[in-house]
Chains A and B, each alone.
Chain A
Amino acid sequence: MKTIKKFTHIDAKTVDEAASILRAGNASVLSGGTDLLGTMRFEVLPDYPEVVVNLKSIPDLEYIKEDASMLRIGALTRLEDIAKDETVKTRYTALAEAAHRTATPHIREMGTIAGNICQLTRCWYFRLPDNRFNCVRKGGRQCYAVMGDNRYHSIFGAVKSCFAVNPSDTAPSLVALNARIKTNKRLIEAGNFWDMAVPGSTVLGADEIVTEIQVPKPAAGSRSAFIKFAIRKSIDFPIVNCAASVLNGNARICLNAVYNKPYRATAAEESIKGKTINEESADAAGAAAVESARALPGDRNKWKIQIAKTMVKRALLACS
């Protein structure tokens, strides 16, 4: 096994302290570590962090609480705890199911919700050990997936030339449930939280740290669901996943792993609006969702369009 290169490790006591270390430069935060330690071990990125700031030593960041208006989840809450929580399972079904379908049981026991939404892309050019492809996502000049093997890449085009997709399972659920992400500086709507960054996938500033996820309490009668397609059901990252929430003929539908960031399928939302969800209307919504989808030259990722369509359909049917 490749050993991890040397770094300095700091157990932060408060979020402010962790942020101040990040401000000092060349530092990474560590919560579950399942993504960060892998990138460090294989030296995926051009920069290797000099300092790793452990957030697990900060007290009171691991909780699931529901009050009259919303569900609050601490940033360091493990995915397995979210997946097993009865409150989340009953009223925030899409989130519980997404947490349950993330990675493997072991990674869910270690990985946190904040880490899951902030994870880096799984693009295999980006992830190749020793930074062998210095792509746009790393500050380079081109996206190697365009001419290369892009079977898992974006079907809705590039963002700043990057065709990589966001691999998070919980992200589309948070968008569908209209969640907000609280950081040490601001409150961000889930719909605006993700964006292409070098090398990240969020709009977070260099010294910004997620502290809480807030999900508004769904109105009575609303339903939500999460559907995922992956090669190996119990292990893999999604090929396509989809979360939907439905209330009185209005739906919020979000696909992921199809675009640089979670993709809100507004065309599908329009299509299903006011209709009863059945086989026919859900199928039409699926078709609407992928109307603007385009495979990359060579059609290697064309199969994902059909899958995305079916995911939307199944997610809606699961809400009916």
Chain B
Amino acid sequence: MSEEKKSENINKKGTGNVSRRTFLKDAGFVVGAPAIGTIAASSGQASAQDRAAETQSEDGSTVSRIHTEAATTIELTVNGDKYRFTVEPNWSLRQLIRDEIGLTSPKDWCGGLGACGSCTVIMNGRPVLSCLTLACECDGANIETAEGIAKAGHPIIQAYIDNNAFQCGYCTPGFVCTSKALLDRNNNPTEADARDALGGNLCRCATYQQHPPAVLQAARELKKT
């Protein structure tokens, strides 16, 4: 079934490639509750009706927003694209990014303890752990993932390649996000700054020595532009 299904998918999406996730989903391997969130308008154009409903509930209301199991609607920007989702209170940001948006760079290593840094994303300029961030608290947030950083052609990506700063690559998106957040704040980091900033990212292949040179290289590249 796979070959046929794959080509169908490619034609439908018209993107020329199919992610493993999309494939699994379409092939019916993902079981459990159907996702209730949908990308309403990736251009950010919400329908007039939706807007009216929001205005009513938010304007002049003295009661706080209560997010029951029945879910709540949030709008957020991920890698420059605007999304609107209906999320449940217990969803983590990582769950939203991976399962709903389909960006698989925030990894799960420590199981949601906040111990490994592999789920790092940049939220409003801060490198945060998406596994310990509730999706319903991300209304209005501006989020960057490793996909966005790569798409924007940030020099940190080439620097990581040049410095062989990974082996298996599982932890790399987390490192890339953390490094990028550092470079956004500090355009002239020292090696100590880089070590300090990356202190919360674990790498089971122990590529630690290669990360600070990669960050410093990216900083030099950024200064040239």
Query: When chains A and B are docked, how far (Å) is the Cα of A164 from the Cα of B94?
Result: 32
* Most chain B C-beta atoms within 10 Å of own C-beta, residue among A42, A57, A104: A104
Closest to A40 in B: B90
Q: How far is the CB of A4 from chain B (nearest CB, A)?
A: 4
The answer on a CB contact under 8 Å between B66 and A10 is yes
Query: When chains A and B are docked, how far (Å) is the Cα of A30 from the Cα of B89?
Result: 13
The answer on a CB contact under 8 Å between A10 and B92 is no
Q: Tell which of A31-39, A133-141, A257-265 binds the partner.
A: A31-39
The answer on a CB contact under 8 Å between B114 and A8 is no
Chain A residues positioned under 8 Å from B66 (CB to CB): 8-11
Q: A4-B90, A6-B69 are in contact. Are A106 and B114 (CB under 8 A)?
A: yes
Query: When chains A and B are docked, how far (Å) is the Cα of A11 from the Cα of B67?
Result: 8
Per-residue interface assignment for chain B, residues 49 to 77, with 1 indicating a CB less than 8 Å from any chain A CB and 0 otherwise: 00000000000000011111100100000
Q: How large is the interface on B (under 10, 10 to 19, 20 to 34, 35 or more residues)?
A: 35 or more
Q: How far is the CB of B34 from chain A (nearest CB, A)?
A: 15
Chain A residues positioned under 8 Å from B129 (CB to CB): 34, 106-107, 110
* Most chain B C-beta atoms within 10 Å of own C-beta, residue among A37, A233, A235: A37
Q: A56-B137, A57-B64, A109-B127 are in contact. Are A7 and B132 (CB under 8 A)?
A: no
The answer on a CB contact under 8 Å between A54 and B200 is no
Per-residue interface assignment for chain A, residues 106 to 129, with 1 indicating a CB less than 8 Å from any chain B CB and 0 otherwise: 110110000000000000000000
Query: When chains A and B are docked, how far (Å) is the Cα of A263 from the Cα of B90?
Result: 37
The answer on a CB contact under 8 Å between B200 and A104 is yes
Is A89 interfacial (CB-CB < 8 Å)? Answer: no
Query: When chains A and B are docked, how far (Å) is the Cα of A37 from the Cα of B198?
Result: 23
Contact of A11 among B65, B68, B133 (CB under 8 A): B65
Q: Tell which of B22-30, B105-113, B165-173 binds the partner.
A: B105-113
Is B18 interfacial (CB-CB < 8 Å)? Answer: no
Chain B residues positioned under 8 Å from A110 (CB to CB): 126, 128-129, 132-133
The answer on a CB contact under 8 Å between A10 and B67 is yes
Chain A residues positioned under 8 Å from B198 (CB to CB): 105
Is B196 interfacial (CB-CB < 8 Å)? Answer: yes
Query: When chains A and B are docked, how far (Å) is the Cα of A127 from the Cα of B56?
Result: 44
The answer on a CB contact under 8 Å between B200 and A7 is no
Is B222 interfacial (CB-CB < 8 Å)? Answer: no
The answer on a CB contact under 8 Å between A104 and B117 is yes
Q: How large is the interface on A (under 10, 10 to 19, 20 to 34, 35 or more residues)?
A: 35 or more
Is B44 interfacial (CB-CB < 8 Å)? Answer: no
Chain B residues positioned under 8 Å from A7 (CB to CB): 89-90
The answer on a CB contact under 8 Å between B67 and A6 is no
The answer on a CB contact under 8 Å between A6 and B89 is yes
Is B120 interfacial (CB-CB < 8 Å)? Answer: yes
The answer on a CB contact under 8 Å between A34 and B136 is no
Is A52 interfacial (CB-CB < 8 Å)? Answer: yes
Query: When chains A and B are docked, how far (Å) is the Cα of A94 from the Cα of B198?
Result: 23
The answer on a CB contact under 8 Å between A5 and B114 is no
The answer on a CB contact under 8 Å between B88 and A6 is yes
Per-residue interface assignment for chain A, residues 1 to 33, with 1 indicating a CB less than 8 Å from any chain B CB and 0 otherwise: 111111111111100010000000000001001
Is A91 interfacial (CB-CB < 8 Å)? Answer: no
Q: A5-B90, A103-B200 are in contact. Are A37 and B134 (CB under 8 A)?
A: yes
Q: How far is the CB of B9 from chain A (nearest CB, A)?
A: 26
Is A234 interfacial (CB-CB < 8 Å)? Answer: yes
Chain B residues positioned under 8 Å from A38 (CB to CB): 112-114, 132
The answer on a CB contact under 8 Å between A105 and B127 is yes
Is A217 interfacial (CB-CB < 8 Å)? Answer: no
Q: In chain A, residues 176-211, which have Cβ atoms closer than 8 Å to a Cβ of chain B?
A: none
Closest to B67 in A: A9
The answer on a CB contact under 8 Å between B178 and A12 is no
Contact of A105 among B69, B113, B197 (CB under 8 A): B197
Q: How far is the CB of A70 from chain B (nearest CB, A)?
A: 28
Query: When chains A and B are docked, how far (Å) is the Cα of A243 from the Cα of B105?
Result: 40
Contact of B128 among A13, A41, A109 (CB under 8 A): A109
Chain A residues positioned under 8 Å from B178 (CB to CB): 105-106
The answer on a CB contact under 8 Å between A105 and B112 is no
Query: When chains A and B are docked, how far (Å) is the Cα of A56 from the Cα of B136?
Result: 12
Query: When chains A and B are docked, how far (Å) is the Cα of A262 from the Cα of B111?
Result: 30
Chain A residues positioned under 8 Å from B112 (CB to CB): 1-2, 4, 37-38, 41-42
For the complex of A and B, 4 pairs with smallest distance between CB atoms: A104-B200, A234-B199, A9-B89, A9-B67
Q: Which residues from chain B sit less than 8 Å from chain A, CB to CB?
A: 64-69, 72, 88-90, 92, 94-95, 108, 111-115, 117, 120, 126-129, 131-134, 136-137, 178, 195-200, 202
What are 27 pairs between A and B in contact, CB < 8 Å? A1-B111, A1-B112, A2-B111, A2-B112, A5-B90, A6-B89, A11-B137, A12-B64, A17-B64, A33-B134, A34-B114, A38-B113, A38-B132, A42-B113, A54-B137, A56-B137, A103-B200, A106-B114, A106-B117, A106-B128, A106-B178, A107-B114, A107-B200, A110-B128, A233-B199, A234-B196, A234-B199
Q: Which residues from chain A sit less than 8 Å from chain B, CB to CB?
A: 1-13, 17, 30, 33-34, 37-38, 41-42, 52, 54, 56-57, 80, 103-107, 109-110, 233-235
